[in-house]
Amino acid sequence: MSSGDPTGRKAVAAVWRIDSARIIGALTRYTGDFALAEDLAQEALAGALVTWPREGVPANPAGWLLTVGRRRAIDAFRRRSTRDEKYAALAHHLPEGGALTGATEPGPAPDDVLWDPDQIDDDTLALMFTSCHPVLSREAAVALTLRVIGGLTSDEIARAFLVPTATVQARITRAKKTLGAANVPFEVPPAGERPARLAPVLSVVYLIFTEGSSASSGDEVIRFDLAGEAQRLARILSRLMPGEPEVHSLLALLELTGARFPARRGPGGETVLLQDQDRRRWDRSAIARGRAALARAAEAGRGYGYYGLQAAIAECHALAGSVEETDWDRIVALYDGLNKLAPSPVVDLNRAVAVSMARGPAAALPLVDALAAGEAFKGSHQLPGVRGELLRRLGRRDEARAALEQAIALCGNERERAALTGKLAQL
């Protein structure tokens, strides 16, 4: 393989995307230092980018990266005279010799286990709890999670959220410093603390998917890589925490919502609204996976939580043959339950849309007008967009036109703005 062969670089990218969380988690357990572990993993990655294209991809790529990372840790501890004990403890389990960044593995003895099968899942789970720790801001937790769990680069995260790369790098740096200053332990929280600590983890994954499935700005209505990464994180959580119903509920919500992605874009990338979607293009395998995850959540017997109620709403859409055949009364009832559990203006607006479908636009318009009187949707295109549609259905064309013009002026996503402009043109 030549030095310019792209195969090695592609292999590095693939292994990093799949195994970076386990590598960083294992290095964090070895070193007891989350920030150092992330740096060590990045150094190992840099070594692979140089070596693999030139020398070939090793038989155990993830093990190669972990071994290099562990050796880098030993070097770091050697340079710190106060860390002699940790250095000795680490060095005790490593064979002597071998190049620091050589493509050929050092030929470990059978008992020199690079991956600890009894620890690796706990490492990944601990890493998720650490990167989503409550001491971090939501923006920092999202950036750190995508970096250490998702394996995304700072450039990729910056492109996904349309912010400068320097902003993402600063968030990640601050996050690691915050975790270090707070002495956050690298561990899976005790069983009694997990329900409370799980909420921020689920919230971060949900936020990543929400931004991916309905991009707030830019020229794409869906960012498939971002939404797909959130789905992957949810699947990891469902495997690592099979006894938590809300984990399965979140996975169900993401699968059922993602199932509609193929029909949400037209041939030119334009937005296709729910009532105009070709439901034959919906991903039936994703619907089946989502329904199975929701069933696992229901088996707990505790009733649906925040994500379970939303997943149940998504299931109603998935089971309907058309907008007219959708069980809108059930959706209204599910939104009522969601509003009792986690009241918010967004839930109120979505409930108003469901009421308009179940009982007509005249029943929903007062609900939307009441929301418009508040400050919750100030600067958002969502409420005037919904209001314009209700007014259009009521035949109040001038008012509908004014509402849609307001929505267009506020909308930051080019595809959604084009859809609103199309509605306005129909008037």
pLDDT tier, 113 (very low <50, low <70, confident <90, very high otherwise): very low
231 assigned to some structural domain: no
Whole-number pLDDT of residue 250: 97
- What is the Cα–Cα distance from 207 to 197, expressed in whole angstroms? 16
Contact 348, 339 (CB under 8 A): yes
DSSP 187: S
Q: Residue 357, Cβ neighbours under 10 Å: how many?
A: 17
- DSSP secondary-structure letter at 190? P
43: in domain: yes
Report which listed range, 1-5, 283-287, 299-303, is most confident.
283-287
Length of the chain (residues): 427
- pLDDT category, 108, cuts 50, 70, 90? very low
Residue 338 falls within a domain, yes or no? yes
What whole-number distance in Å separates Cα of residue 364 and Cα of residue 358? 9
Q: In this structure, what DSSP letter does residue 188 have?
A: P
The verdict on residue 97 lying in a domain is: no
Percent of the chain whose predicted confidence (pLDDT) is above 90: 36
Tell me: pLDDT of 284 over 70: yes
Confirm whether 19 is domain-assigned. yes
The mean of the pLDDT values for the chain is: 83
| 202-242 tens-digit pLDDT | 988 898 898 788 765 556 678 887 888 889 889 988 988 88
Band (354; pLDDT cuts 50, 70, 90): very high
CATH code of the domain covering residue 385: 1.25.40.10
Give the highest mean pLDDT range of 95-109, 257-271, 389-403: 389-403
Alpha-carbon distance 172 to 187, whole Å?
Answer: 20
Q: Check if the beta carbon of residue 25 is closer than 8 Å to that of residue 127.
A: yes
Q: How far is CA 203 from CA 41, 120, 173, in A?
A: 26, 24, 21
Q: How confident is the model at residue 258 (pLDDT cuts 50, 70, 90)?
A: very high
Query: Could you tell me the residue range of the domain that residue 59 belongs to?
Result: 6-83
Other residues' Cβ atoms within 10 Å of the Cβ of residue 134: 11
371-427 pLDDT, tens digit per residue, is: 998 888 888 899 999 999 999 999 999 999 999 999 999 887 787 888 888 888 888
- Total count of domains within the chain: 2
Q: Measure the CA–CA gap between 303 and 199, rounded to whole angstroms.
A: 17
* Domain final residue pick, 83, 106, 138: 83
* Range with the poorest average pLDDT among 98-107, 122-131, 386-395: 98-107
**Which residues on adjacent β-strands are paired with residue 271?**
265
Determine the pLDDT at residue 28.
85
pLDDT given for residue 218 in this prediction: 57
| 252 and 270 Cβ atoms separated by less than 8 Å | no
Q: What is the CATH number of the domain that holds 78?
A: 1.10.1740
Instruction: Please name the residues in contact with 406: beta carbons below 8 A apart, sequence gap of 6 or more.
Output: 381, 384, 388
Coil, strand or helix at 380: coil
CA distances from 356 to 350, 353, 374, 409, 418 (A): 10, 5, 20, 24, 24
pTM value is 0.72
Question: Does residue 419 belong to any structural domain of this protein?
Answer: yes
What is the identity of the amino acid at 131? S
DSSP characters for 310-361? HHHHHHHHHH-SSTTTS-HHHHHHHHHHHHHHS--HHHHHHHHHHHHHHH-H
Identify the domain boundary among 32, 66, 83: 83
- Of the residues 40, 57, 83, which one is the last residue of a structural domain? 83
So what's the pLDDT on residue 322?
A: 94
- Identify whether 356 is part of a domain: yes
316 assigned to some structural domain: no
Tens of pLDDT, residue by residue over 33-71, are: 888 888 888 888 888 888 888 888 888 888 888 888 888
